[in-house]
A and B are shown apart, each in its own frame.
Chain A
Amino acid sequence: MTTGLTALLSHWLRHPLQLAMLMLGLALATALWSGVQAINAEARASYDRAAAVLGQNRLDRIEAGDGGPIAQGLYVALRRAGWKVSPVVEGRLPGTGLRLLGIDPLTLPPDAASVPVSTGADLGRFLSGDGLIYLNPDTAAALRPDDGLPDLQSDPGLPPGTGVSDIGVAQRLLGMEGKLSHLLVTPGRQPDGPLPQGLVRRAPDGGSDITRLTDSFHLNLTAFGFLAFAVGLFIVNSAIGLAFEQRRAMFRTLRALGLSARGLIGIVLLELLVLALVSGAIGIGLGYLVAAALLPDVAATLRGLYGAEVTGTLSLRPGWWLAGLGMAMAGTLLAAGQSLWRLWHLPLLAPAQPRAWARASARSLWRQGLAGAGLLGLSAGLLAFGTGLTAGFGGLAALLIGAALCLPMILILATGLGSRLARGVLVQWFWADTRQQVPGLSLALMALLLALAANIGVGTMVSSFRQTFVGWLDQRLASELYITARSADEARRLEAWLAPRTDAVLPILSAETPLFGRPGEVYGITDHATYRDNWPLLSATPDVWDRIAAGQGLMVNEQLYRAKGLALGDAVDLPGGPLPVVGVYSDYGNPRPQVLIAPEALMSRFPDTPRLRFGLRVAPNRAEALATALVAGFGLPEDAVVDQASLKALSLQIFERTFAVTAALNVLTLGVAGLAMFASLLTLSGLRLPQLAPVWAMGLTRQRLAVLEFARTLLLAALTLVAALPLGLALAWVLLAVVNVAAFGWRLPMQVFPADLMQLGGIALLAAGVASLIPVLRLARIAPASLLRVFANER
């Protein structure tokens, strides 16, 4: 056995480049997969920590049935009735984005002891005077002293973006005096009898809202990681296939010398698993670097899109690297499956066929093409009749794999056509020979197809999204200035001062309330030309604005409209009674359901809504002077007055950062595909000599042959690019019209950007050219003796 293993391993010593390709392919595949998994694991751990604060993932809670606040008096009544409950106030601090939790440490259930003050020595400070807020150190460092907050105390046990204070402090800071968000129920026996009217007891959630909201984002990342992994496996398959083919004679000799087929498979498996283990370990190290590089952008994306806080540093979790090694080994076995199958069925006496691997029979390629066509049909069925994200991704996977399987057949047909149409002898040979290279290069070309299609698809989606988003921002951010007052009194003074100095002062009122059982938002929209002329309506009744102004209807955002399958005229429940839907508007980037009603209707249904924010209409050339005057005259902090351009720039900045990760993964996937191409060309270059040497002997120079080889690679890459174009656009359509709708609730109009496609085409050809450069230069400079070996008789 050891002798056999030594003989097998000697192959790698003689072919170090092949070994490097195999290990690099596997390492890259593992790196991209495990990098994405590391990011996902880190984000999910952050969500779990956030959900675990105050034991909210373990303790029952009592809430108002309508999702609104609970009067403090009700809490007192429950305590008096013997209920062991503890009050919690929860909300976001305006201007800081901080999620503040107000607690009563004296009644807090023991299961909620993740909060340090329940046993800490700072209890006195926590309860007295201005109070104390416990914060994650990173969050504390990000807050500025002029945010007007009480003393801050770092506690690494708290998740980022969350602060814990005494309930009185939180009520004051959140403007919720006399109100509570919910009550935590201490486990154990509670009084018999029902809860007071309007209160409901809820079991702890299996997953937090953030977990649910971000699921689609992480699924997207996972899909990309998996795509990159699959592309990497093409390199592994190519390298293993070649190594098997080159060692065919050795396998036969070992079998002839008495090694059983089982024993041979055993040592080959051992060899592969050792290689997988080493390459997987390298890949995990690279994956850690990839994840560390991408995590800040992912964290910014999650914060910008979902308000989810994720720590910016990675931790090495045993589950993660073990799963990475498992994937590396599973991937290796998958990539080696075909070769192992052939080895198992290796006839002992068959003559060596050095090119059998590269010359897969036409019948098997047609079979593969038919399977691909079947998958394309399945994809069409899933996309047409399936619902939800799973059907969307299932359709996407079937589309990509189906198209990849069809590619060799398409290339054979295309090169066959070229061969028939060609006139000159060299051109005819060029096409015919290119056709013969397709089976050997098919895996690399399939990898290139997938990478190109992913680039085209995701690129088109992002560009379509950007174009739509910019137009949408112009519509939504119509006011020239946006201001935020620090108090109701200041807001009244500001309104009075601004009235004669602006064309319009448009209050921005909002309240939080459950919509169809999910946390949602209600906005008040003033009846003004600013909105009538600009608001991005997708569908509406003819008198939409009149009915909104009269308090006889509401508008819903697209995500709520699609998620609940609403139609114009359907009623939406709100505190104070339902209202019919009279319009639907696009609301990109917002993961929550939202409705718009008249400001008066909002104030009557949510009377405690603060009136602190305003949009100001003013001549654009006066906006800057007015902003300066507001800051100077009212002593407003500079970030309380924001001009339209800054707001748009900020929104676009968040947008660009959101897709920075996608762009990085795109580039990496294309890079891996380029490497797959390089690996295949390099390994095939040795096998090409028997086909090229006769043509050289008949009078073609090595340089000319090299030029033709270069052109051949470019031609195959160009044909693959042509195939990738419709596939990529189909992918973009699925992402925009199916996956986005299922994941985020909005559908975007698809737009094609020819300049971007041409640029990508150029990059693809460049990558193919670079990938073929070394094999081509080798050919151009090959010693005649190497070519003459093809004709040698004594072999």
Chain B
Amino acid sequence: MLLTLTGVTKTYATGEGPLTVLDGIDLALQAGTSLALTGESGSGKSTLLHLAAGLDVADAGRVDLAGVNLTTASDSGRAALRRGKVGLVFQQFNLIPSLDVAANLAFQARLAGSHDPAWTAHLAQVLGLSALLGRYPEQLSGGQQQRVAIGRTLAARPQLVLADEPTGNLDEATGDAVLDLMLRLVAETGAALLMVTHSPRLANRLDRRVTLSAGRIT
């Protein structure tokens, strides 16, 4: 099993007292499969994604990714795991504004020491970015930026792709096109995909679907 969450609980302190966002979550994801995470706003979807990526640590339970217990791993250990095994795609794209498209595409792969120029070029071509390599993020449309973000994620050949509302900022047609590309390329790399989405239509295109409500899987 590539990703396992066992009895995971996460609580945040708020002005009105502690707020439990995830409450005893159990979840598993096999390599090469995809899972859609749905639920209403505030149900804990993004938090679950963040814990799976090792961006945050669970208060209780454990998260295992590629044989590593993220709950007990050090900050630098989790960072190394993110670098080498995880790819993240966000709704806001979160490209690096100071780097051009080519540098953005190669960034994580180079950071992880797994940069393959031929593979990156292939991704750029498939994603329709070959003509945009010298541009900066602010010069791209939303759809183009998200394609760069997907390319950046896949260029490092991660074992797990975590996508948080990757088409949330795009219109339906562009969103569908981007998602098609992402699913195709994820399949091509053999990575597992965990995607957070509000849309049942998009969720239905993935292998499995899990719905969260008030921090629990329903």
List residues of chain A with CB under 8 Å of any chain B CB. 424-426, 428-429, 432-433, 435-436, 690-691, 693-704, 784-785, 787-788, 790-794
Cα of A695 to Cα of B95 in the assembled complex, Å = 9
Is there an interface contact between B46 and A694, defined as CB atoms closer than 8 Å? no
B134 is an interface residue with CB less than 8 A from chain A = no
Q: Which single residue of chain B is at the shortest CB-CB distance from A355?
A: B97
Neighbouring A residues of B88 by C-beta, 8 Å: 697-698
Is there an interface contact between B53 and A697, defined as CB atoms closer than 8 Å? yes
B183 is an interface residue with CB less than 8 A from chain A = no
List 22 A–B pairs whose Cβ atoms lie within 8 Å, in order of A's numbering.
A425-B106, A425-B111, A425-B115, A426-B111, A429-B103, A696-B79, A697-B53, A697-B55, A697-B94, A698-B82, A698-B108, A698-B111, A699-B82, A699-B83, A699-B84, A702-B75, A787-B55, A791-B90, A791-B91, A791-B92, A793-B46, A794-B42
Known A426-B111, A698-B83, A699-B79; judge A784-B96 contact (CB<8 A): no
Interface flags, B34-56, vs A, CB<8A=1, else 0:
00000001100010001001011
Cα of A696 to Cα of B94 in the assembled complex, Å = 11
Cα of A505 to Cα of B10 in the assembled complex, Å = 96
Cα of A690 to Cα of B95 in the assembled complex, Å = 9
Neighbouring B residues of A435 by C-beta, 8 Å: 98
Cα of A506 to Cα of B81 in the assembled complex, Å = 89
Is there an interface contact between A698 and B107, defined as CB atoms closer than 8 Å? yes
B64 is an interface residue with CB less than 8 A from chain A = no
Neighbouring A residues of B80 by C-beta, 8 Å: 699
Cα of A680 to Cα of B42 in the assembled complex, Å = 35
Cα of A590 to Cα of B42 in the assembled complex, Å = 80
Is there an interface contact between A788 and B96, defined as CB atoms closer than 8 Å? no
Cα of A428 to Cα of B55 in the assembled complex, Å = 24
Contact for B96 among A433, A703, A704, A785, CB less than 8 A: A433
Neighbouring A residues of B79 by C-beta, 8 Å: 696, 699-701, 704
Cα of A459 to Cα of B66 in the assembled complex, Å = 62
Cα of A695 to Cα of B55 in the assembled complex, Å = 12
Contact for B107 among A425, A791, A793, CB less than 8 A: A425
Is there an interface contact between A788 and B50, defined as CB atoms closer than 8 Å? yes
Known A425-B107, A793-B91; judge A784-B56 contact (CB<8 A): yes
Neighbouring B residues of A429 by C-beta, 8 Å: 96, 98-99, 103, 107
Known A698-B111, A794-B41; judge A693-B50 contact (CB<8 A): no
Contact for A793 among B99, B110, B164, CB less than 8 A: B164
Residues of B120-176 at the interface with A, using a CB-CB cut-off of 8 Å, are 164-165, 168
Q: Which single residue of chain B is at the shortest CB-CB distance from A693?
A: B94
Neighbouring A residues of B111 by C-beta, 8 Å: 425-426, 698-700
Cα of A701 to Cα of B53 in the assembled complex, Å = 14
Residues of B62-110 at the interface with A, using a CB-CB cut-off of 8 Å, are 75-76, 79-84, 88, 90-92, 94-99, 103, 106-108, 110
* B: interface residue count bin: 35 or more
B112 is an interface residue with CB less than 8 A from chain A = yes
Known A700-B111, A701-B75; judge A695-B168 contact (CB<8 A): no
Cα of A103 to Cα of B79 in the assembled complex, Å = 90
Is there an interface contact between B46 and A792, defined as CB atoms closer than 8 Å? yes
Of A690, A699, A704, A794, most buried by chain B (CB within 10 Å of CB) is A699
Cα of A695 to Cα of B98 in the assembled complex, Å = 12
Tell me, rounded to whole Å, the shortest Cβ–Cβ distance linking A534 to chain B: 64
Q: Which single residue of chain B is at the shortest CB-CB distance from A791?
A: B90
Is there an interface contact between B98 and A791, defined as CB atoms closer than 8 Å? no
Beyond A428-B103, A693-B94, A697-B88, 9 additional pairs, beta carbon < 8 A:
A425-B107, A429-B96, A432-B96, A432-B98, A697-B82, A702-B75, A703-B75, A703-B76, A791-B91
Neighbouring B residues of A790 by C-beta, 8 Å: 92, 94
Neighbouring A residues of B50 by C-beta, 8 Å: 784, 788, 791
Cα of A786 to Cα of B12 in the assembled complex, Å = 12
Neighbouring A residues of B83 by C-beta, 8 Å: 698-700
Cα of A433 to Cα of B55 in the assembled complex, Å = 23
Is there an interface contact between A699 and B108, defined as CB atoms closer than 8 Å? yes
Is there an interface contact between B107 and A788, defined as CB atoms closer than 8 Å? no
Tell me, rounded to whole Å, the shortest Cβ–Cβ distance linking B99 to chain A: 5
Is there an interface contact between B56 and A788, defined as CB atoms closer than 8 Å? yes
Is there an interface contact between B95 and A694, defined as CB atoms closer than 8 Å? yes
Is there an interface contact between B91 and A691, defined as CB atoms closer than 8 Å? no
Q: Which single residue of chain B is at the shortest CB-CB distance from A783?
A: B56
Cα of A428 to Cα of B106 in the assembled complex, Å = 12
Cα of A370 to Cα of B56 in the assembled complex, Å = 48
Interface flags, B5-48, vs A, CB<8A=1, else 0:
00000001000000000000000000000000000011000100
Of A426, A436, A793, most buried by chain B (CB within 10 Å of CB) is A793
Neighbouring B residues of A700 by C-beta, 8 Å: 79, 83, 111
Of B55, B94, B98, most buried by chain A (CB within 10 Å of CB) is B98
Known A697-B53, A791-B164, A792-B46; judge A432-B94 contact (CB<8 A): no
Known A697-B82, A700-B111; judge A691-B56 contact (CB<8 A): no
Neighbouring A residues of B115 by C-beta, 8 Å: 425
Known A425-B107, A699-B79, A785-B12; judge A694-B55 contact (CB<8 A): no
Tell me, rounded to whole Å, the shortest Cβ–Cβ distance linking A334 to chain B: 31
Cα of A792 to Cα of B53 in the assembled complex, Å = 15
Cα of A704 to Cα of B78 in the assembled complex, Å = 14
Of A426, A429, A693, A694, most buried by chain B (CB within 10 Å of CB) is A694
Tell me, rounded to whole Å, the shortest Cβ–Cβ distance linking B138 to chain A: 8
Neighbouring A residues of B94 by C-beta, 8 Å: 690, 693-694, 697, 790-791
Neighbouring B residues of A792 by C-beta, 8 Å: 46
Is there an interface contact between A785 and B56, defined as CB atoms closer than 8 Å? yes
Neighbouring A residues of B103 by C-beta, 8 Å: 428-429, 432
Neighbouring B residues of A787 by C-beta, 8 Å: 55
Neighbouring B residues of A784 by C-beta, 8 Å: 50, 55-57
Neighbouring B residues of A691 by C-beta, 8 Å: 96-98
Q: Which single residue of chain B is at the shortest CB-CB distance from A698?
A: B108
Cα of A746 to Cα of B50 in the assembled complex, Å = 71
Cα of A698 to Cα of B103 in the assembled complex, Å = 14
Neighbouring B residues of A436 by C-beta, 8 Å: 97-98
Q: Which single residue of chain B is at the shortest CB-CB distance from A433?
A: B98
Neighbouring A residues of B165 by C-beta, 8 Å: 793
Neighbouring B residues of A695 by C-beta, 8 Å: 96
Q: Which single residue of chain A is at the shortest CB-CB distance from B45?
A: A793
Q: Which single residue of chain B is at the shortest CB-CB distance from A700?
A: B79
Neighbouring B residues of A693 by C-beta, 8 Å: 94
Q: Which single residue of chain A is at the shortest CB-CB distance from B156?
A: A698
Cα of A790 to Cα of B108 in the assembled complex, Å = 18
Tell me, rounded to whole Å, the shortest Cβ–Cβ distance linking A697 to chain B: 5
Neighbouring A residues of B108 by C-beta, 8 Å: 698-699
Cα of A429 to Cα of B108 in the assembled complex, Å = 11
Is there an interface contact between A425 and B164, defined as CB atoms closer than 8 Å? no
Neighbouring B residues of A697 by C-beta, 8 Å: 53, 55, 82, 88, 94
Tell me, rounded to whole Å, the shortest Cβ–Cβ distance linking A792 to chain B: 7
Cα of A690 to Cα of B97 in the assembled complex, Å = 10
Q: Which single residue of chain A is at the shortest CB-CB distance from B106?
A: A425
Is there an interface contact between A788 and B55, defined as CB atoms closer than 8 Å? yes
Cα of A206 to Cα of B76 in the assembled complex, Å = 76
Tell me, rounded to whole Å, the shortest Cβ–Cβ distance linking A390 to chain B: 45
Contact for A432 among B75, B81, B99, CB less than 8 A: B99
